[in-house]
């Protein structure tokens, strides 16, 4: 490696930066992880179940640790869902909300089950996802719309509330998938 490359690498590591996958969060002997049901402090029913599934799927997809029940795991990931809300972010000329942003905020903790030692803790991790809530805002030719379950021909027969709820559910799924990736990176790589 050239002197400039070594200098940059040393500078980045001195500032707390590290290369992905090189974090010291996970002990070398750990082979399994259990994902506990997150404690929910919000009104959204079932959100903790959907989040746990998304996080388990992310760990399975990445394959670094095998997902097992928490009582059998080397490491246990737990957390709290602290905030889950839809905020209007765009309005029509008649002051009707046409676009919302769903915001979710969690805290996570990774512990070594045998010792109870906290390996990593993130107090606040937040993600957001926008979604349209009115027929005039839905672009049926967009790839995002075409991945959904609404047929463009049916839009005229649906109310804005029905469209908004369908878009909200789709946004929630995408949001939880993104949050699961963030949780994995925080817990496994420490950043």
Query: Running along the chain, 191 residues long, what does each successive block of 10 average in pLDDT?
Result: 49 43 70 97 95 97 93 97 92 82 95 95 94 57 55 52 64 92 90 50
At residue 63, the pLDDT reads: 83
Minimal CA–CA distance to 22: which of 72, 58, 69, 64?
Answer: 64
On whether residue 132 sits in a domain, the answer given is: yes
Residue 69 maps to which CATH number? 3.40.50.10610
At residue 151, the pLDDT reads: 59
At residue 143, the pLDDT reads: 52
At residue 153, the pLDDT reads: 56
Q: How far apart are CA 110 and CA 122, in angstroms?
A: 9
At residue 36, the pLDDT reads: 98
Contact criterion met (CB below 8 Å) for 125 and 179? yes
On whether residue 146 sits in a domain, the answer given is: yes
Go through the chain and tell me how many residues it has. 191
Global confidence as pTM: 0.71
In whole angstroms, how far apart are CA 183 and each of 17, 18, 58, 75? 18, 17, 9, 14
Minimal CA–CA distance to 172: which of 102, 113, 123?
Answer: 102
Please tell me the total count of domains within the chain: 1
On whether residue 23 sits in a domain, the answer given is: no
Contact criterion met (CB below 8 Å) for 40 and 82? no
On whether residue 13 sits in a domain, the answer given is: no
Q: Which domain holds residue 129?
A: 29-189
On whether residue 41 sits in a domain, the answer given is: yes
At residue 96, the pLDDT reads: 78
On whether residue 112 sits in a domain, the answer given is: yes
Q: Where are the alpha helices (DSSP H) in 64-122?
A: none
On whether residue 161 sits in a domain, the answer given is: yes
Q: Directed axis angle between helix 47-62 and helix 160-189, to 10°?
A: 50
On whether residue 84 sits in a domain, the answer given is: yes
């Amino acid at each position: 490696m050239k002197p400039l490359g070594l200098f940059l690498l040393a500078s980045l590591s001195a500032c707390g930066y590290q290369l992905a996958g090189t974090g010291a969060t996970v002990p070398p002997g750990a082979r399994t992880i259990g994902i506990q049901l997150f404690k929910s402090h919000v009104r959204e029913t079932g959100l903790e179940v959907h989040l746990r599934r998304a996080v388990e799927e992310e760990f399975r997809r990445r394959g670094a640790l095998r997902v097992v029940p928490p009582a059998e795991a080397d490491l246990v990931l737990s957390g709290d869902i602290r905030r889950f809300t839809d905020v209007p972010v765009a309005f029509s000329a008649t002051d009707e909300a046409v676009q919302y942003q769903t915001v979710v905020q969690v805290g996570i903790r990774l512990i070594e089950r045998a010792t109870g030692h906290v390996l990593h803790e993130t107090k606040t991790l937040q993600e957001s996802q926008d979604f349209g809530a009115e027929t005039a805002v839905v672009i049926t030719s967009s790839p995002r719309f075409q991945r959904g379950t609404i047929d463009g021909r049916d839009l005229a027969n649906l109310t804005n509330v029905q469209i908004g709820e369908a878009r909200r559910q789709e946004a929630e799924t995408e949001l939880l998938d993104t949050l699961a990736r963030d949780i994995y990176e925080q817990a496994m790589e420490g950043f």
